[in-house]
Amino acid sequence: MRIPHKAKRTIVFVTFETEFAPCGGLAAVMKIFPKQLAKTESCCTIGPYFENITSGKPISAQITNTGIEYALRFGDNSHVVKVLRHADDNGYTTYLLQSDGCFTAPKDPYINPGNPTKLLYDSLFFCAMVPKALAALGETSDLVLHLQDWESASVAHTMKKVDAIESAACILTLHNPYDRGINGRDAGLISARDLPGETILTKMIPLVDGSLSTVSRNFADELTNDPLHTQVFADHLQEQFKRRGIVGIDNGLFGKHEFPFSDDAHREAKHGGFALIRKEKWERRIALSETIDKYLRDISGNPDAQVWGDGLDLSDPRLPVFLFLGRDDPRQKGYDVAAEAIRTIPEGKARYIFTPMPGDEGFDGLNFLKNLAAQRPGEVMVFPFRLDPEPFMALQRGSSFMAMFSLYEPFGGANEAYLAGMPVVARATGGLVQQTIPHESSALSPHGQQLIKKYHGQGGKPTGFLFREPSLKDDVDGWQKIVDCAYLHGEQGADRIEDRRGIPLYDEMVKRAGQSLESAIELYSSDQDAYAEMIYNGFKMLDNFSWDRAIVEYRRLYDSVCES
């Protein structure tokens, strides 16, 4: 296959997760970055069509059938593939591939309760569909396929199996460290049985052109230096990482770069005054109480909106509110660390609101949050479902801090907190390190302080609080025990926290997380001026991240696999 020509190239974003069937960070990137790139490059997106997820949304009415169909033999089955199309208001095109009996997940593209092993099959099928779809669309030359994560990595192989594709190259971005084992039978579905390796990525990375990439500079470093990745998650990929190289390209902003308070407050803050930010944030904190009270009344009795926690008391704006959000993942998000850390805080000091989307374990996996809410009535409330836009916006605007206690975080949501007018409290990991200048606190170990110095130098105006446990001799054993999630295979009723208590790494993490909460509570309660200034500092931090910068760096990768 020939190398694509730089001047004639089309960038094709190949992604299992799209804005039409979103789950997390990948969909957020795919909703923004390709369209920004399309201002100066020819590009499009291609992904699966998850009918159960997409068909009920208003945007589904804008998805049309191109009339293009083709037959595809996959294993013992013959499928008919339909190519659907969506064009946004600016003409950006996303192609969605549909086939009966495939991509049937009901709510989350990665979770199919009726068939838990379907993700691998669907991913391989999608990778077999892509080159034939491009050929059917007449896109056969000068293609740069920008693959996203292991689910689309096999396109690096399937592209070579379609004679109609004349010139193409593939690059791969990893938004997380995950991989998937594959046996000979499944590899045979895409004629990859003879490729060396026992996982998708060990088979496919050697076929990718150019360097690998990921979504922040610090996460690129962690993938080849942090014990969690080098000896647990991605130990089997270290040789390939070293051979290929990993480029960290920071994400831009997931929202409009606008000051989250009034113009008057912005002008005052530019001159070192923060009284208006303090006043307006206080008003939002009061409004949050009213909005949540109304929302709880509105959803009362709704079986699809069960809430854990009784009598959440948000009436006193002198008490800070910590907001925890994101999809539950026992190997990443750290909701259990947060629950244990909250238990170390004396009652009555703060309020804690969780909005987790249940993951593979469903509601049962979040029982430890249900127990915490029962133990701390009036202080803790859990909304284990997708909130309506109005209360969710009120939570972002009115909460005092966004808390991210992630075990790892490739990029992280600190910038989203700043856009909403919140400082952050987070574990010093991944992109969160780059996005956060921490206020002085005992919660940050010497290793954490070294990370901060690497990216922010000495000093800097704080945008939140970071914690990091000290490095321990048995870190690898600790991480392995955490990631193994033995409770999932033990007695019924065992939970995440019971499984992890007593692991020195985990206990230290909880201790430092609790210290970071204490520090944030102390600042909010004793110095509202410093708190308001921290909000402004967070907004200023946003100047360090833009999609324009990301485009410059991704173009270097595209150029490296093209001929001039």
Q: What is the DSSP string of 512-557?
A: HHHHHHHHHHHHHHH-HHHHHHHHHHHHHHGGG--HHHHHHHHHHH
Measure the CA–CA gap between 435 and 312, rounded to whole angstroms: 31
What's the pLDDT score for residue 489?
86
Measure the CA–CA gap between 90 and 546, rounded to whole angstroms: 20
Measure the CA–CA gap between 323 and 417, rounded to whole angstroms: 10
Measure the CA–CA gap between 254 and 263, rounded to whole angstroms: 21
Contacts of 294 (CB under 8 A, 6+ apart): none
Contacts of 560 (CB under 8 A, 6+ apart): 209, 210, 211
What's the pLDDT score for residue 452?
94
Question: In 3D, which of 150, 175, 154 has the Cα closest to residue 27?
Answer: 175
- By three-state DSSP, how is residue 97 classified? strand
**6-202 against 263-544: fold identical:** yes
CB of 142 closer than 8 Å to CB of 167: yes
What's the pLDDT score for residue 494?
76
Measure the CA–CA gap between 482 and 332, rounded to whole angstroms: 10
Q: What is the CATH number of domain 6-202?
A: 3.40.50.2000
Question: Could you tell me the residue ranges of all domains in the chain?
Answer: 6-202, 263-544
Residue-by-residue DSSP string for 431-447: HHHHH-PBPS-TTB-HH
| Number of residues in the chain | 564
Question: In 3D, which of 359, 489, 403, 507 has the Cα closest to residue 497?
Answer: 507
Q: Which two structure tokens, joined as six digits, stand for 315? A: 């009436």
CB of 537 closer than 8 Å to CB of 461: yes
Measure the CA–CA gap between 429 and 222, rounded to whole angstroms: 8
The runs of H, that is alpha helices, within 115-176 are: 118-136, 149-153, 155-158
> Listing from the earlier edge strand, what are the strands of the sheet with 77-87?
63-74, 77-87, 93-98, 43-48, 10-14, 143-148, 168-174, 212-214, 246-248
Measure the CA–CA gap between 442 and 278, rounded to whole angstroms: 26
Measure the CA–CA gap between 30 and 160, rounded to whole angstroms: 25
Query: Alpha carbon of 40 to those of 64, 232, 547, 548, 551: distances in Å?
Result: 26, 40, 13, 11, 10
**Which residue bears the tokens 């008391």?**
313
Residue 25 C-alpha from the chain's centroid? 3
What's the pLDDT score for residue 458?
82
Question: In 3D, which of 277, 545, 541, 258 has the Cα closest to residue 400?
Answer: 277
- Given its phi and psi angles, is residue 94 left (phi above 0), alpha (psi -120 to 50 degrees) or beta? beta
Buried b (16+ CB within 10 A) or exposed e, 502-517: ebebbebbbbbbbbbb
Measure the CA–CA gap between 477 and 313, rounded to whole angstroms: 41
**Which residue bears the tokens 């809430």?**
307
Q: What is the CATH number of domain 263-544?
A: 3.40.50.2000
Measure the CA–CA gap between 152 and 89, rounded to whole angstroms: 27
**Which residue bears the tokens 């907001």?**
323
pLDDT tens, per residue, the chain with 564 residues: 899 999 999 999 999 999 999 988 899 999 999 999 999 999 999 999 999 999 989 999 999 999 999 999 998 889 999 999 999 999 999 999 999 989 999 989 998 877 878 999 999 999 999 999 999 999 999 999 999 999 999 999 999 999 999 999 999 999 999 999 999 999 999 999 999 999 999 999 999 998 999 999 999 999 999 999 999 999 999 999 999 999 999 999 999 999 999 999 999 999 999 999 999 999 999 999 999 999 999 999 999 899 999 999 999 999 999 999 999 999 999 999 999 999 999 999 999 999 999 988 989 999 999 999 999 999 999 999 989 999 999 999 999 999 999 999 999 999 999 999 999 999 999 999 999 999 999 999 999 999 999 999 887 899 999 999 998 878 999 999 999 999 998 766 678 999 999 999 999 999 999 999 999 999 999 999 999 999 999 999 999 999 999 999 999 999 999 999
How many CB atoms lie under 10 A from the CB of residue 530?
14
In one-letter notation, the amino acid at residue 302 is: N
Question: In 3D, which of 204, 158, 155 has the Cα closest to residue 179?
Answer: 204
In one-letter notation, the amino acid at residue 414 is: A
Residue 241 C-alpha from the chain's centroid? 21
What's the pLDDT score for residue 492?
65
What's the pLDDT score for residue 363?
92
How many CB atoms lie under 10 A from the CB of residue 181?
12
CB of 90 closer than 8 Å to CB of 32: no
